Chains A and B, each alone.
Chain A
C-alpha cells in the first residue's frame, strides 16, 4: 500500500485547493529593531569575559576565541532577528525562529492556560519584554517585543483563551 501512488498523493496533501492555505507562509510580525541591540549587548556580556579568560589561560592561542566572540556579538543577533517572526491570530499563536534549525511552532489559543509578560533588568533598558504562553505541555515564548506590544498580546490572548476554555 505504501507504493500506492494515488493514496499517497491524497494523504500528502496533493489537493492544491485544500490544506496548504490553512496557515500563511510565515507569521506576519518581526521583532522590534531594539531586539538586535539587546541581544548584541547580551552577547557582549558573555563574549568579553570569555575572550579575556581564553587569553589569560591559553596565551596568544586564546585569541582564536576572538572571531567566535565577534560573531556572537555582530552576526548571531542579526540572523536571529531576521529569523524571528510571530503572529497572534484568533485561533492560534504562530512563531518562527531558529538559526541552525528553523522552527515553525503553532500553539492553539484554546490550549493556552495563562500568559505572562516579564521584563529582565537589561531587557527593560531597551524597552523590551518577554511574553510567555503556558500550556499543559509546557511553555513557549516570544523573547523580545516592545513593552506595549507585550501587554497587548497578553491581554488579547488571555481574552481569546477565556472564550475557548479547555485542556
Chain B
C-alpha cells in the first residue's frame, strides 16, 4: 500500500476554497475598520497569506493510499486522522474539476461511501488522471465495478439521457429564488448596516412610508434573486444526466465541473417539487432521495433541474423507469379535512398580524393580509394533499412548494400513522413514511380508516424483500 501525496495543485485548490470561506468576514472587517483602499488591500493580503499557508500545511500533512481492500486518507498536523473506506462500501467515485484543477490538468475525487453521511467519505483535492484511473480500476476490480466510468454509448443515447438547453437553464435560474436564499441576505445586510453605519446614517434606512418599505423589500428580494439566479447557472450549466445500466451519472456545473454516479439501487424515492415561483408556470424540479447522499446539498440531489410538470413522469421514465408512475390520479382527504388544513395557519397569521396592529394601530392594517394569505395557503395545502398506493407509493403535499413524492414501498425505513386529539373527534389521521435518505414524506388529515389501512399495507410490504 504505497502512500501518495496529493498533486501540488491541491495547495491552490485548498487555498481558493479557504479564501472563499473567509472572504465575507474579511470584507466586513476591512469595511468596518474604515481607512480606505490600503487597509482593504492589507486585509486582503493577510487573508491570502493565511489561506495559502493553511493550504500548504494541509497538503504537506496529507497522504492517501489504497490497497488491502480499502481507500485510506491520513492527515493532520498535530493529531493524525485516518479515514478508510473499504472498497465494497464505495458507492461511487465522483469528480469535481474546479478552476485550479483544470489549470493543472488534475481532478478532485470524492469517494462516496455507502454508509451515508458526509463523515464517511474521502475527498482528494487534486489527483492526476493516471492516479484516478488506477484507483477506479482497483476499486472496480474488487467491488461490483462502481468505480468504472460509464460507457460513452449511453451518453449519446437520447432515450436514456437528459440535457438542459440554454433556454431551460435560464428559466430554471429565473425561477430558482427561494426563502432559503433570501434569509441569509437579509441577515447579512442588516448585520453590515449595523456594523458599518452610524446611528444617524442607519436612521435613513428606516422606512417612513409604505412606499419606502416596499422599495427596501424590493431591493433585498432583487438582490437575493440575483444571487440565486447566478448560483443556479453556476450549479447547473452543462447539465447532463445519463442512465447507464444500474447507475445514473450526473454531470453539471460551469466554474466547478462535477460528475457524480448514483447507483439506482440506492435511489428509494423521487420528489417532484413545484416551488412557488415555478408552480404558476407549470414548472417543477425533480430530486432524488438516495441513501448516502442525505448530507449533500440540494443541487447534488437534483435529477432534473427544470421540467414542465406534465412532462415530469416521461422524463423520470427515461432516467429512472423504476419510479415512473402516473401522478395525477390521486385519492384525496375528505372535505371535512379542509378546516383542519386552514385553521392552524390562519390562527398563526392572526397572531402575527395582531402584534403590529396592536403596536402601531391603523397604519399597520395592511398586516391583515397575512391571515388572508395564510387561509389561501391552508386551502392550497388541502387541495395539494393526495395519495395513491399500487406498485409505488405516491404522496402529494404542500408546505409552500407543492411536492409529489414517489417512493419504493419495499425500501421504506419507517411507517407512521398519527392521530391528534382533534383529529380523533373528526376520525382523521396523518400518514408519514421515512426513506433511507432520512427524508420524511407524509400526507395529513386523511380518513382514519385509510391511514390504518395504509400503515398496515405499507409496513407489510416494506418488511418483505422486493
Tell me, rounded to whole Å, the shortest Cβ–Cβ distance linking B336 to chain A. Answer: 16
Tell me, rounded to whole Å, the shortest Cβ–Cβ distance linking A131 to chain B. Answer: 16
| Interface presence of B460 (CB below 8 A) | yes
Residue of B388, B412, B435, B439 ringed by the most chain A CB atoms within 10 A: B412
One of A29-37, A59-67, A120-128, A134-142 contacting the partner: A134-142
Partner of B414, one of A13, A19, A106, A167: A106
| Interface presence of B136 (CB below 8 A) | no
For residue A92, which residues in chain B have a CB less than 8 angstroms away from its CB?
459, 462-463
Whether A108 contacts B436 by the Cβ 8 Å rule is no
- Of chain A, the residue at the smallest CB distance from B433 is A137
Number of A-B contacts (CB under 8 A): 116
Would A12 and B418 be within 8 Å (CB), given that A23-B460, A91-B464 are in contact? Answer: no
- How does the 8 Å CB contact mask read for B381-412 relative to A, with 1 for contact and 0 for none? 00000001100000000000000000000011
Whether A140 contacts B414 by the Cβ 8 Å rule is yes
One of A50-58, A68-76, A94-102 contacting the partner: A94-102
For residue B60, which residues in chain A have a CB less than 8 angstroms away from its CB?
none
Whether A22 contacts B291 by the Cβ 8 Å rule is no
| Interface presence of B358 (CB below 8 A) | no
| Interface presence of A155 (CB below 8 A) | no
For residue B331, which residues in chain A have a CB less than 8 angstroms away from its CB?
2, 8, 11-12
| Interface presence of B47 (CB below 8 A) | no
For residue A17, which residues in chain B have a CB less than 8 angstroms away from its CB?
none
For residue B414, which residues in chain A have a CB less than 8 angstroms away from its CB?
105-107, 111, 135, 137-138, 140
- A101 and B421 CA atoms in complex are apart in Å by 6
For residue B416, which residues in chain A have a CB less than 8 angstroms away from its CB?
103-106
- How does the 8 Å CB contact mask read for A104-120 relative to B, with 1 for contact and 0 for none? 11111111000000000
One of B38-46, B340-348, B364-372, B444-452 contacting the partner: B444-452
For residue A104, which residues in chain B have a CB less than 8 angstroms away from its CB?
416-418, 455
For residue A23, which residues in chain B have a CB less than 8 angstroms away from its CB?
455-456, 459-460
Tell me, rounded to whole Å, the shortest Cβ–Cβ distance linking A121 to chain B. Answer: 29
| Interface presence of B231 (CB below 8 A) | no
Whether A101 contacts B419 by the Cβ 8 Å rule is yes
| Interface presence of B457 (CB below 8 A) | yes
Tell me, rounded to whole Å, the shortest Cβ–Cβ distance linking A55 to chain B. Answer: 29
- How does the 8 Å CB contact mask read for B215-247 relative to A, with 1 for contact and 0 for none? 000000000000000000000000000000000
User: Which label, helix, strand, loop or mixed, suits the secondary structure of the B interface?
Assistant: mixed
For residue A140, which residues in chain B have a CB less than 8 angstroms away from its CB?
414
For residue B463, which residues in chain A have a CB less than 8 angstroms away from its CB?
91-92, 108-110
Would A137 and B436 be within 8 Å (CB), given that A12-B447, A100-B421, A111-B413 are in contact? Answer: yes
Whether B436 contacts A136 by the Cβ 8 Å rule is yes
Whether B434 contacts A13 by the Cβ 8 Å rule is no
Tell me, rounded to whole Å, the shortest Cβ–Cβ distance linking B267 to chain A. Answer: 11
Whether A11 contacts B465 by the Cβ 8 Å rule is no
Whether B116 contacts A136 by the Cβ 8 Å rule is yes
- A140 and B438 CA atoms in complex are apart in Å by 12
Tell me, rounded to whole Å, the shortest Cβ–Cβ distance linking A99 to chain B. Answer: 9
For residue A135, which residues in chain B have a CB less than 8 angstroms away from its CB?
413-414, 434, 436
- Of chain A, the residue at the smallest CB distance from B450 is A12
- A167 and B416 CA atoms in complex are apart in Å by 19
Whether A137 contacts B437 by the Cβ 8 Å rule is yes
For residue B458, which residues in chain A have a CB less than 8 angstroms away from its CB?
106
- A21 and B436 CA atoms in complex are apart in Å by 27
Given A20-B456, A106-B458, 11 new contacts (CB under 8 A): A11-B389, A12-B447, A19-B457, A98-B418, A102-B419, A102-B420, A104-B455, A108-B412, A136-B413, A138-B434, A164-B465
12 A–B contacts, CB within 8 A, in A order: A12-B447, A13-B453, A20-B453, A106-B414, A106-B416, A106-B458, A106-B459, A107-B413, A108-B462, A111-B414, A136-B436, A167-B436
A residues with CB within 8 A of B: 1-2, 8, 11-13, 19-23, 91-92, 98, 100-111, 135-138, 140, 164, 166-167
Which 10 pairs across A and B sit closest by C-beta, in order of nearness? A137-B413, A13-B453, A91-B463, A106-B459, A22-B456, A137-B434, A136-B436, A101-B420, A108-B463, A22-B460
